[in-house]
Amino acid sequence: MSRKIPDLYQVKEKMYVATDCIIFGFDNGRLKLLLFKRLVEPLKGRWSLIGSFVRLDEDIDVAGRRVLKEITGLDNVFMQQLKTYGKKDRDPGYRCISVAQYALIRIDEHDKKLVEDNQAFWFEINDLPELILDHGQMVQDALIQLRNNARYKPIGFELLPEKFTLPQLQSLYEAIYQKELDSRNFRKKVLSLNVLRKLDEKDKSGSKRGAFLHKFDHENYTKLLESGYNFEIA
């Protein structure tokens, strides 16, 4: 007598799939995170990452980019899937798993009015409010992943304006690693990578002498990446 094989697609139980976006920005030497106050119950009015349920007709990474676009007006920015959070009691509203994604954006390029209209705010990474659910863990996991990636890839350039000085670049990496770096060693290492193009322009906002501006050389970076080069900077 053959055993009846159950139809897995007839299971009556259901759960939601969400994506939560950890959106990092860099401003005035500080690494920042974009948060907003939750608009619906449960936990309405509490600080939260920005997220959405994944629609039936979209991929998870597409859902993350949709959320990013709706909040900041930006697309075509660095965004990477982090991990999945699926404890059965993580959301008091309903059984829900969340696929977290983190993004790096240039704060000076985002749509400030759009952010304000969505009641979102930038917080320094060392001065975050208490977050709902497991969002605090998501942020900590994203910071670890950001630091790991920044150690081996020039990922930090995604957070800088198109033109930047070496001190600004060092300030960014110090914000990511939360420690001071030796200026001479940092400059030597970064320039040895040959992924920067020095410009004739100077930034004189910090001193009369000023500091030369640089641009990221995507072509040289791609060639080195394909060769398996180790980009460890700090």
80 and 138 in a single domain? The answer is: yes
pLDDT band at 85 (very low <50, low <70, confident <90, very high): very high
- Whether residue 234 lies inside any domain: the answer is no
Looking at 113, 130, 151, the residue that finishes a domain is 151
Token pair 């320094």 is found at 124
46 and 143 together in one domain: yes
Same domain for 48 and 160: no
Same domain as 60, residue 145: yes
pLDDT score recorded for residue 233 = 73
Q: Which domain holds residue 111?
A: 14-151
CATH code for position 209: 1.10.10.10
How would residue 1 be classed by pLDDT, with cut points 50, 70 and 90? low
- On whether residue 111 sits in a domain, the answer given is yes
Per residue in 2-50, pLDDT tens?
A: 566 677 777 778 899 999 999 999 988 899 999 999 988 899 999 999 9
Distant-in-sequence, close-in-space partners of 122: CB < 8 Å, separation ≥ 6: 25, 27, 32, 33, 34, 107
Confirm whether 233 is domain-assigned.
no
**What is the number of alpha carbons within 13 Å of residue 121 lying toward its C-beta?**
12
Q: Judge if 119 and 32 occupy the same domain.
A: yes
Q: What is the total count of domains within the chain?
A: 2
pTM for the model: 0.87
Report the share of the chain in percent with pLDDT over 70.
94
Residues 28 and 122 in one domain: yes
